[in-house]
Amino acid sequence: MLHQLCPRVEKALELLSKRWTGLIIYQLLNGPHRFCEIESSLPISGRLLSERLKELEKEGIVNREVFPEVPVRVEYALTEKGAGLAPVMKELEEWANKFIN
C-alpha cells in the first residue's frame, strides 16, 4: 500500500531542504547572532543569507530584532517555533556523526 505524504511534512522538508537554511537554524541554536556573525560562519553570500533569513522570519522560525543604538544593531534569534527544531537538529547531528564520513 502506498502512503500519501502529509502536506505539513512535505512543507517542512521543503523549507529545511533549501540550501543553507538548515545550517542557519543550526547556527542560531547557540543563541542570537548578528548578520555578520552568521555570514562569517558560513560560506554564503550576503544576498542569499538575507533572502534565507527573510524566508525564515516569514515562516515564524526566526525573529529579527533591531536595537536603536548608534550604529543600529540587528540580531537574529530563533522563535519558539524555531527552537522547536532543536531536537530534530540534534538527531540529525548524531546521525551524521554515525553514518557520514
CATH number at residue 80: 1.10.10.10
Domain of residue 29: give its range. Answer: 14-99
**Is residue 43 in some structural domain?**
yes
Is residue 9 pLDDT above 80, yes or no?
yes
| Residue 3 maps to a domain | no
Angle 52-57-61 from CA coordinates, rounded to 5°:
100
Q: What pLDDT sits at residue 92?
A: 93
Can you tell me the mean pLDDT for 82-89? 97
Distance, CA of 49 to CA of 33 (rounded, Å): 13
How far does the chain reach from its first CA to its final CA, in angstroms?
34
| pTM, rounded to two decimals | 0.88
Asked whether residue 73 is assigned to any structural domain, the reply reads yes
Q: What's the total number of domains in the chain? A: 1
Does residue 6 form part of some domain? Answer: no
Q: What DSSP element (H or E) covers 96?
A: helix 86-99
The pLDDT tens digits for 36-80 are 999 999 999 999 999 999 999 999 999 999 999 999 999 999 999
For residues 41 and 23, what is the distance between their CA atoms, to the nearest angstrom? 10
